[in-house]
Amino acid sequence: MSVWTMNPKLQAIEDPTDFPPEAKSLQQLDAAVRCSICSEFFDGPVSLQCGHSFCSLCIRNTMATTSQSHCPTCRAPAKESHLRPNSLLEDIVSAWKPARAYIVKLAKQDDQPARKKRRLDESDPPSSAGPSRTPSANSTTVERTQLSSLLPMDAHRYKASDSLVACPLCKAEVPMDNINYHIDSGCATSLQSPKSQNSKAQWSSIMGPKSKGKEKESDDRVPKLAYDTLTQKQLRERLERLGLLTTGDHSVLVARHQQWAMLWNANLDKSTEHRESKEKLRRTLRKWESERHAPRKEKPAVDSGHLKKYSSEFKRLTEAARVNKAPLVGTEEVVVVDSEDL
């Protein structure tokens, strides 16, 4: 039994191996839209001059905490000023994330009928009348099943139940279920049935509809400061202008401003519809500060009763180790002679 089977929490982690081995290209696609630092889908991707892309917050945090002046992937020289937003990659990730679960489901469903078909073909005896030129019923059924699984349920119901009829007023062809509503509206309504519109809504939800624009906020980036030259009063004034807390000593104020600069500038690297609100960024900063100042868990003290209980066993193992380290009989002994004794 594998570790993934034993631990349900590990199974819940999204990974390129969610796709079957036969869908190697889908595994490669899923891996290509992930950051090599955090292994998650790109969040506000930025590119360096070498062409490699990372999450904006990941690469900024890496450069700030490790003082790296090179790309983590190819080790080419890189600076924070080289970062450029990659809006095309961001759009690809936005379209891939909602469609991923649907494609994984289809890929697994595709794999099951194929296996059943192989088992049926192996069990069927060869026909005495010779090979048939018509496709087998099993393969036709599998193809229809795969095709029908790609269509929303409303599309099937529309084809089965709706038939077009001519409107007695405008002579336009209208679905039968929609004819009364069409006439009551003075022939001004859409000729599409509500079910067809629901079908389109389902497809748009699968392929990821564009989200509505959020309230526009300032696009000004937070610059780096020469913190050693600023007094606590000046730091507090700058934090107050940013709407942040002003409590703490000089080191706390500096760390707060540095983290906010990374959060804010990384958020600006995202396209407008994907940016987080200023209030959400403040909550992220407060969470970071609370985790940073949280007391560390002390290691549990050694139980004296446990030591006393197993002291004899410990002595036995120690003696056995000493015996194993004893020099073998007949081996030459190397004597180091000091030059002063000569």
Through-space distance between the first and last CA atoms of the chain, rounded to whole angstroms: 68
Give dist(CA 99, CA 208) in Å, integer. 7
SS3 annotation, 269-281: CCCHHHCCCHHHH
* Chain-centre distance for alpha carbon 161: 41
pLDDT range class, residue 238, cuts 50, 70, 90: very high
Q: What is the longest distance spanned by two Cα atoms in the chain?
A: 127
Residue type, 225: L
Residues counted in the chain:
342
Residue 303 scores a pLDDT above 60: yes
Residue type, 51: G
Q: In what order do the strands lie in the sheet with 53-55?
A: 53-55, 45-47, 84-85
Long-range CB contact pairs, 221-226, < 8 A, 24+: 221/264, 221/265, 221/268, 222/257, 222/260, 222/261, 222/264, 222/265, 223/261, 224/261, 225/257
pLDDT score, position 233 = 93
pLDDT score recorded for residue 137 = 47
Spatial CB neighbours of 289, under 8 Å, sequence gap ≥ 6: 256, 259
Nearest-angstrom CA–CA distance, 206 and 202: 6
- Rounded to whole angstroms, the Cα distance separating 255 from 289 reads 9
- What gap in Å lies between CA 62 and CA 38, rounded to an integer? 11
Mean pLDDT of 102-121: 67
Instruction: Determine the distance from the C-alpha atom of residue 301 to the mean position of all C-alpha atoms in its chain, rounded to a whole number.
Output: 39
Please state the pTM of the whole predicted model.
Answer: 0.52
CA dihedral 58, 59, 62, 64 (to 10 degrees): -110
Q: Give the pLDDT score at 140.
A: 46
Q: What are phi and psi of 237, to 5 degrees?
A: -65, -40
Mean pLDDT of 317-322: 84
CA distance 32 to 89: 10
Q: How confident is the model at residue 212 (pLDDT cuts 50, 70, 90)?
A: very low
HSE-up of residue 223 (Cα within 13 Å, Cβ side): 3
Residue 134 in tokens: 């018509």
Report domain extents, the chain.
14-105, 150-210, 227-292
Tokens matching residue 12: 């819940």
Predicted confidence band of residue 277 (pLDDT cuts 50, 70, 90) = very high
Q: Render pLDDT for 9-63 as a digit per residue (tens, 0 to 9).
A: 555 678 888 888 888 888 899 999 999 999 999 999 999 999 999 999 999 998 8
Q: What single DSSP character describes residue 209?
A: P
Query: Is 94's pLDDT higher than 60?
Result: yes
CATH architecture for the domain at 14-105: 2-Layer Sandwich (3.30)
